[in-house]
């Protein structure tokens, strides 16, 4: 009972800040959804299918990356002046760097690429073009130099949005090195 007053005071201090915090989170997620949409993330990270109106992203697999059942074993062979190729799903890209596959950005605990990322690492990844901000290089065509110009708040919003979209279990294959 002696702690009742301090407890009530603490709760009184916390309660007004919890409700706005929820609003802030919700607004942040909405902002993230907007940025992901206009930023073109679905162009590569959501598999494309042929819909009734032509090619379109398959939103049932939104942002789940290159489908694990589309097997690719070697870079595309193209003739000049062509320098690269992409899969019809728009998730596999072949070029001088070898073959890159778009990552699974959903929060799937087993296959989502961001499962071990902190918010800070996500921001640094966009700033440096390196996995978790300091590791291996992110391969083309990921336009991280563009996204690296976003503000911290915008990148935090994108991260917040990606952490709460529906998880999709899809193990994206490892990249394929270029032909020597």
Partner 1 sequence: MAKVTAITEQLRSNQGRHSAAVGAMLILTFGLLKSVSAVPQPATANPPATLKDTGLYTDFGTLLVDPAHLTFAPQYPLWSDGATKRRWISLPPGKVIDGSDPEVWIFPVGTRFWKEFSFNGQRVETRYLERRADGSWLYAAYAWSPDGREAHLVPVRGKRGAYPLAGGRSHTIPGMTDCKACHQGGASEILGFSTLQLSSEPDPGSLHAELRPDPGVDLKYLVDRGLLVGLPKTLLETPPRVAAATATERAALGYMHGNCGHCHNDQGSLRNIGLFLRQGVKDAGQPAIDSTVNHPVKKPAPGQSPDAVLRVEPEHPERSGIMQRVGSRYPALQMPPLGTELVDDEAVALLYRWISETAPLRKEAHIEQKGR
Binding of partner 1 at residue 17 (CB under 8 A)? yes
DSSP secondary structure of 29-83: HHHHHHHHHHTTHHHHHS-EEEETTEEEE-GGGTT--S-TTS---S-----TT--
* CB closer to partner 1, 62 vs 124: 124
* CB closer to partner 1, 60 vs 171: 171
Q: Give the shortest CB-59-to-partner 1 separation in angstroms.
A: 28
Binding of partner 1 at residue 152 (CB under 8 A)? yes
Q: Give the shortest CB-75-to-partner 1 separation in angstroms.
A: 15
* CB closer to partner 1, 62 vs 142: 142
Instruction: Compose the 38-67 pattern: x for residues touching partner 1 by CB under 8 A, - for all others.
Output: ------------------------------
Q: For residue 180, give the DSSP letter.
A: -
Residue 39: which of 67, 64, 63 has the closest Cα? 63
- Between CA 78 and CA 84 the distance in angstroms is 7
Q: Give the shortest CB-119-to-partner 1 separation in angstroms.
A: 7
- Between CA 20 and CA 3 the distance in angstroms is 27
H/E element holding 158? helix 152-162
* CB closer to partner 1, 57 vs 129: 129
Q: Which of residues 92-151 bind partner 1 (CB under 8 A)?
A: 116, 118-121, 123-124, 127-137
- Between CA 17 and CA 6 the distance in angstroms is 17
Interacting residues toward partner 1 by CB under 8 A: 2-3, 5-7, 9-10, 13-14, 17, 116, 118-121, 123-124, 127-137, 152, 174-175, 177
């Amino acid at each position: 009972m002696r702690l009742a007053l301090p407890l009530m005071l603490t709760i009184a201090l916390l309660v007004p800040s919890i409700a706005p915090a929820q609003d802030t989170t919700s607004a942040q997620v909405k902002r993230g959804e907007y940025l992901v949409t206009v930023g073109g993330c679905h162009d590569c990270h959501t598999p494309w299918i042929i819909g009734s109106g032509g090619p379109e992203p398959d939103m049932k697999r939104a942002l789940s990356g290159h489908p694990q059942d589309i097997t690719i074993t070697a870079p595309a062979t193209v003739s000049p002046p062509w320098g690269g190729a992409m899969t019809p799903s728009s998730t596999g890209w072949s070029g001088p760097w070898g073959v890159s596959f778009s990552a699974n950005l959903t929060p799937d605990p087993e296959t989502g690429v961001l499962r071990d990322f902190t918010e800070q690492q996500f921001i640094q990844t966009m700033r440096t073009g390196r996995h978790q901000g300091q590791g291996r290089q992110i391969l083309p065509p990921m336009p991280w130099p563009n996204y690296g110009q976003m503000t911290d708040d915008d990148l935090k919003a994108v991260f917040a949005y990606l952490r709460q979209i529906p998880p999709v279990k899809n193990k994206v294959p490892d990249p394929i090195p270029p032909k020597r």
